[in-house]
């Protein structure tokens, strides 16, 4: 054996080093090919598709889906509270009934 940094001093045979270098070169070449292929093909933009809930379930489940889905059936019922102010506005009714009240306003503009 020689002294220094020679291949024989490391205990690794030159054949294995050569084989390893060839494999590394092959990996680099394949990586370059992959990068080139990525650039060639452009992905198409996806189009927005409108689909009802029934159509979507039919597409996903196929012929198994026969029941129409009513989304409003699961909603909770809410009682509407009527405020007193709203009642008063409804009681006033048509403005033509209160013409006497409006006549004072007309005099203000004359």
Q: Each residue of 16-67: pLDDT tens digit?
A: 899 999 999 999 999 999 888 887 777 788 888 888 877 887 787 776 655 5
- pTM of full prediction above 0.85: no
pLDDT at 1: 41
pLDDT at 27: 96
Give ∠ CA 69-70-74 in degrees, rounded to 5.
120
């Amino acid at each position: 054996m020689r002294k220094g940094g020679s291949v024989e001093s490391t205990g690794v045979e030159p054949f294995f080093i050569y084989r390893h270098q060839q494999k590394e070169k092959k990996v680099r070449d394949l990586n370059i090919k992959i990068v080139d292929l990525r650039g060639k093909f452009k992905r198409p933009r996806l189009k927005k598709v409108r689909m009802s809930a029934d159509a979507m379930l039919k597409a996903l489940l196929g012929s198994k889906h026969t029941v129409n889905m009513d989304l409003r059936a699961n909603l909770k019922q809410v009682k509407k509270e009527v405020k007193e102010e709203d009642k008063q506005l409804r009681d006033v009714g048509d403005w033509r009934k209160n013409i006497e009240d409006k006549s004072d306003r007309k005099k203000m503009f004359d």
